């Protein structure tokens, strides 16, 4: 894929109570944000097992966003605190294994922050577009090369 | 027979003869000369037990085989385990995670002077300053005065890799993971990996396929390391078990370094403190 036509695939895990409502607000307020984002609604940012992020990268995502409620605002009191610890470590581990640190993005977006949602999505998509495709993407199988003999026959 | 072996054998003999435990888990030499785990059920068999620098397995892994009663109406069997200082931390971890009860395990602690893999002292041992296990019932005193390792920076090699570019690190790990045959020996050797059904083999939900491709191998190794984040006791049994010599301990030590820096936590100091990912503090704000 040529560099200028590269359109990143981005998976976003959005907390139902804050960030998903924030995305909804961005939509109803007619704000523009890139279509590269595939939103997955989850009950809480604490529900986003780091396995989800790994699975997304394994299956070809170029970037993953995890958006949740601001600390102290979690619908379940503590889910985002657990998420914070988890992603602090996960980010550093992914970085250590050679993934560009920018490919994972965790942020707090509340239900009233439609503008912030549109802004972070746009900024994140632009960043991924400039980094290029994920190195973990499955390479398409090479076309079988015919032996010279077979070609002549 | 060294004096340490004599002490281990007499401790095992006593525990079995008194009926305090039904099995002693220790090390023995195989007919081919390798060190392997030994399960001694009879007081007369304790002479099989050995202890030397080749004892690089973590025997706490095998305590998972004695967690449930062998049949209904019978109590959970009591076992004795020969542990090194690193393994003793795994005992504390498993007690915290309610996998074992302290009263069901007799801990034969060994004053460890370091172990080797194929004649080479292991990195984990060359950095380890711990001689006496954090938990024990019987302590086996060392007969030699251990020469303590020269003071060196614990995470020097990790720090060096952090200075590489992401592309260099990716190349390094692609090269290392490429050899993985997904035999799961690292998982089996680990005292902290005890799920009944591992996500690497789960079919519903199907997290990862059995393909030997880079995305799957990356998934497996990052997942394995992350499941041990803040739980790894740095016994390096995974790396010793790996038939392809993948430097798995680098992933574990990277996480241990971050856990120490962020939360000031070290696994297994005591059986009551929660590992960092099992708890939180409302005031902290971490870079994510």
Same domain? B27 vs B134: yes
- Is A60 within 8 Å of A138 (Cβ atoms)? yes
Same domain? B55 vs B133: yes
Whether B149 is covered by a domain: the verdict is: no
In chain B, the residue whose alpha carbon lies closest to the alpha carbon of A67 is B288
Average pLDDT over residues A115-134: 96
Query: Chain A partners of B173 at a C-beta cutoff of 8 Å?
Result: 97-98
* Beta-strand pair B23-29/B35-40: antiparallel
Same domain? B266 vs B199: yes
Distance from CA of B279 to the nearest CA of A (A): 7
Whether B65 is covered by a domain: the verdict is: yes
**A residues 72..101 contacting B (CB < 8 A):** 72, 78, 81-82, 84-101
Whether B25 is covered by a domain: the verdict is: yes
**What's residue B67's pLDDT?**
93
Number of domains chain B contains:
2
Per-residue pLDDT tens digits for A128-139:
999 999 988 877
- Check if A137 contacts B (Cβ < 8 Å): yes
Per-residue pLDDT tens digits for B229-265:
999 999 999 999 999 999 999 999 999 999 999 999 9
In chain B, the residue whose alpha carbon lies closest to the alpha carbon of A81 is B280
Give the CB-side neighbour count of residue B89, counting CA atoms within 13 A.
19
Query: Chain B partners of A101 at a C-beta cutoff of 8 Å?
Result: 166
Tokens of A90: 């996960």
- Check if A141 contacts B (Cβ < 8 Å): no
- Check if A51 contacts B (Cβ < 8 Å): yes
Distance from CA of B167 to the nearest CA of A (A): 6
d(CA B208, CA B225): 16
Whether B148 is covered by a domain: the verdict is: no
Counting as low any pLDDT under 70, the low residues of chain B are 145-151
**What's residue B150's pLDDT?**
66
**What's residue A36's pLDDT?**
95
Same domain? B169 vs B52: no
Same domain? B98 vs B161: no
Task: Please identify, among B93, B108, B140, the residue that sits at the C-terminal boundary of a domain.
Answer: B140
Whether B283 is covered by a domain: the verdict is: no
Question: For residue A31, is pLDDT > 70?
Answer: yes
pTM: 0.91
Same domain? B122 vs B170: no
Contacts of A85 (CB under 8 A, 6+ apart): B263, B276, B277, B280, B286
Question: For residue A150, is pLDDT > 70?
Answer: no
Element containing residue A85 per DSSP (H, E): helix A79-96
- Check if A140 contacts B (Cβ < 8 Å): no
d(CA B53, CA B49): 14
Please indicate whether, in this complex, the C-beta atoms of B288 and A99 are within 8 angstroms of each other.
no
**What's residue B147's pLDDT?**
64
N residues, chain B = 288
* Domains detected in chain A: 7-138 (3.40.50)
Please indicate whether, in this complex, the C-beta atoms of A94 and B161 are within 8 angstroms of each other.
no
Same domain? B101 vs B197: no
Contacts of B106 (CB under 8 A, 6+ apart): B15, B20, B21, B78, B79, B80, B81, B137, B138
Task: Please identify, among B94, B110, B140, the residue that sits at the C-terminal boundary of a domain.
Answer: B140
Closest CA to B83 of B10, B135, B147, B144: B135
Host domain of residue B20? 3-140
Whether B147 is covered by a domain: the verdict is: no
**What's residue B126's pLDDT?**
85
Query: Chain A partners of B221 at a C-beta cutoff of 8 Å?
Result: 97
Same domain? B126 vs B27: yes
Average pLDDT over residues A86-112: 95
Whether B266 is covered by a domain: the verdict is: yes
Distance from CA of A151 to the nearest CA of B (A): 31
Whether B287 is covered by a domain: the verdict is: no
């Amino acid at each position: 894929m040529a560099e200028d036509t590269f359109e990143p695939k981005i998976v976003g895990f959005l907390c139902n109570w804050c960030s998903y409502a924030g995305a909804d607000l961005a939509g109803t307020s007619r704000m523009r944000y890139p279509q590269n984002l595939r939103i997955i609604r989850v009950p809480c940012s604490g529900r986003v097992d780091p396995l989800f992020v790994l699975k997304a990268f394994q299956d070809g995502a170029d970037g993953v966003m995890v958006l949740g409620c601001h600390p102290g605002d979690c619908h379940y009191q503590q889910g985002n605190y657990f998420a914070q610890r988890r992603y602090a470590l996960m980010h550093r581990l992914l970085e250590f294994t050679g993934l560009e640190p920018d490919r994972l993005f965790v942020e707090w977006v509340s239900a009233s922050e439609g503008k912030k949602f549109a802004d972070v999505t746009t900024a994140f998509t632009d960043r991924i577009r400039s980094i290029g495709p994920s190195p973990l993407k499955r390479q398409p199988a090479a076309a079988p090369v015919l032996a010279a003999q077979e070609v002549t026959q | 027979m060294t004096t340490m072996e004599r002490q281990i054998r007499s401790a095992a003999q006593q525990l079995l003869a008194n009926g305090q435990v039904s099995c002693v888990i220790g090390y023995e030499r195989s007919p081919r000369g390798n060190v392997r785990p030994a399960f001694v059920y009879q007081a007369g068999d304790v002479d099989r037990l050995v202890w030397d620098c080749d004892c690089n397995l973590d025997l706490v892994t095998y305590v998972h085989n004695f967690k449930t009663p062998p049949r209904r109406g019978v109590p959970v069997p009591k076992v004795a385990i020969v542990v090194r200082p690193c393994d003793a931390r795994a005992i504390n971890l498993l007690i915290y995670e309610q996998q074992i009860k302290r009263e069901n395990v007799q801990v034969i602690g060994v004053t460890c002077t370091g172990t080797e893999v194929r004649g080479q002292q292991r990195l984990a041992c060359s950095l380890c300053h711990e001689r006496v296990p954090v938990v024990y019932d019987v302590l086996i005193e060392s007969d030699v005065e251990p020469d303590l390792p020269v003071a060196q920076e614990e995470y020097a090699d990790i720090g060096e890799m952090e200075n590489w570019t992401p592309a260099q690190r990716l190349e390094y790990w692609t090269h290392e993971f490429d050899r993985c045959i997904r035999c799961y020996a690292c998982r089996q050797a680990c005292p902290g990996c005890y799920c009944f059904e591992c996500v690497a083999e789960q079919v519903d939900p199907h997290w990862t396929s059995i393909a030997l491709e880079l995305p799957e191998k990356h998934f497996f190794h990052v997942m394995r390391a992350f499941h041990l984040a803040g739980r790894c006791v740095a016994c390096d049994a995974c790396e010793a078990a790996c038939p392809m010599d993948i430097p798995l301990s680098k992933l574990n030590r990277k996480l241990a370094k971050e856990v120490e820096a962020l939360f000031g936590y070290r696994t297994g100091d005591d059986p009551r403190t929660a590992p960092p990912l099992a708890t939180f503090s409302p005031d902290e704000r971490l870079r994510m």
